[in-house]
Amino acid sequence: MLFFGIEETTPSHIALRIFGIRLNLLRTEIKLERKELNKYYHSFSSALEIPPAKGSIRLIQLANAGFLKEFEEFLNKYNLKYWIDFGTLLGAIRHKGFIPWDDDLDIAMLRDDYEKLIDIFKNNDLSNLNFQLVFENNKRNKCYVKIKCTNSKNLFIDIFPYDLYHSKTNDEDKKVLSSKISEITKKKPLIPYKSVEDIKNRFSFLTKNVISDNKTADIKDEPSIFMGIDFPHKWQNKVYDFEDIFPLAEIQFENKTFFAPNKPEKVLKSIYKDYMNIPDDAYPRHSNYLNINDEEKQLLEGYIK
């Protein structure tokens, strides 16, 4: 057994192993970078006053907007519906584009379309595409889809599934159901799942039998919609009225038009409460922007054009 050693490094972290325990430590220079950026963003009195990002972060942002547009065309080909969500939706409403310190994309899909998307990639030769479908999977309580550009680690889209509840819900119902979902998603099995299929099957069982009490819902009944347990979201409320999401609206994001919830402000208030405020931790979550070579820069610029 290796008692002490550096196992591997990434642009942002150093992986150490001490007496068999693996520790991922954030690099000192990344800590300082985040501290300075956080200080800069909080020098503004309002989030609305903060200008767009500059340099490599801005390059990645604009390229990701182009990447999402390319993926949208793919979804349209198969008649699959999506809407922007979480930080991407917040950026659209508050900044008409990316949050200045954000660089990734969040979208959502109803479960049926989400599973159809997985099947499309599973059953077809899509090697001609510039992107691939992978599962972000910790083998315990997280297993959701990411669309990743095959040529760039900076371009990717997180996709979160939503499920239909079997009936409409009032405010108290939403609290009870959200609490129930939170209890399920925060639990981690002692023994990791062996495969993606195992954890997906477990999620499906819990969704149908524990959350929905083995009752089904149909979209024409306009029931409630809840965040799929494929990701352990920290948000207190995880349940929406059907009309909060549908019919989907169109929204401007980086001078492009994407689909969004029918009532985006209501959704954002449910997630972030005072979503117009600057958060305490205003800094980039990824650090790939610190290591962009000329080849990567050219690729990103191609998505902007």
pLDDT in tens, the chain (305 residues): 445 566 656 666 667 666 666 667 777 888 888 899 999 999 999 999 999 999 999 999 999 999 999 999 999 999 999 999 999 999 999 999 999 999 899 999 999 999 999 999 999 999 999 999 999 999 999 999 999 999 999 999 999 999 999 999 999 999 999 999 999 999 999 999 999 999 999 999 999 999 999 999 999 999 999 999 999 999 999 999 999 999 999 999 999 999 999 999 999 999 999 999 999 999 888 767 777 899 999 999 999 97
Q: Are 264 and 251 in contact (CB under 8 A)?
A: yes
Residues 186 and 215 in one domain: yes
Q: What is the pLDDT of residue 284?
A: 86
**CA end-to-end distance (rounded Å), the chain:** 51
Could you give the CA distance from residue 32 to residue 49 in angstroms, rounded to a whole number?
A: 24
Residues 62 and 32 in one domain: no
Residues 15 and 107 in one domain: no
Could you give the CA distance from residue 56 to residue 64 in angstroms, rounded to a whole number?
A: 12
State how many domains the chain has.
2
Residues 70 and 163 in one domain: yes
Residues 36 and 60 in one domain: no
Residues 31 and 156 in one domain: no
Judge whether 230 lies within some domain. Answer: yes
3-state secondary structure of 82: coil
Judge whether 253 lies within some domain. Answer: yes
Judge whether 146 lies within some domain. Answer: yes
Residues 114 and 200 in one domain: yes
Judge whether 50 lies within some domain. Answer: no
Bridge partners, residue 5, by sequence? 17
Q: Are 254 and 89 in contact (CB under 8 A)?
A: no
Q: What is the pLDDT of residue 288?
A: 74
Sign, CA dihedral 188-189-194-197, equals negative
Residue range of the domain that includes 287: 56-304
3-state secondary structure of 127: coil
CB proximity list for 186: less than 8 A, separation 6 or greater:
141, 232
CA distance to 191, 202, 203, per residue, from 194 (Å): 9, 12, 14
Of 198, 79, 83, give the one whose Cα is nearest residue 141.
198
3-state secondary structure of 43: coil
Report strand pairing: 239-241 vs 156-164: unpaired
Q: What is the pLDDT of residue 290?
A: 73
CA angle 196, 121, 76 (to 5 degrees): 125
Residues 159 and 273 in one domain: yes
Judge whether 265 lies within some domain. Answer: yes
Judge whether 49 lies within some domain. Answer: no
Residues 28 and 151 in one domain: no
Q: What is the pLDDT of residue 12?
A: 66
Could you give the CA distance from residue 41 to residue 21 in angstroms, rounded to a whole number?
A: 36
| Residue pointed to by tokens 């399920």 | 184
Residues 24 and 173 in one domain: no
Tokens standing for 79? Answer: 């008649």
DSSP string for residues in 232-297: ----S--EEEHHHH-S-EEEEETTEEEEE-SSHHHHHHHHHSSTTSPPS--S-S--GGGS--HHHH
Residues 27 and 86 in one domain: no
Residues 83 and 21 in one domain: no
Q: Are 260 and 89 in contact (CB under 8 A)?
A: yes
Q: What is the pLDDT of residue 98?
A: 97
Judge whether 251 lies within some domain. Answer: yes
Judge whether 68 lies within some domain. Answer: yes
Q: Is the pTM of this model over 0.85?
A: yes
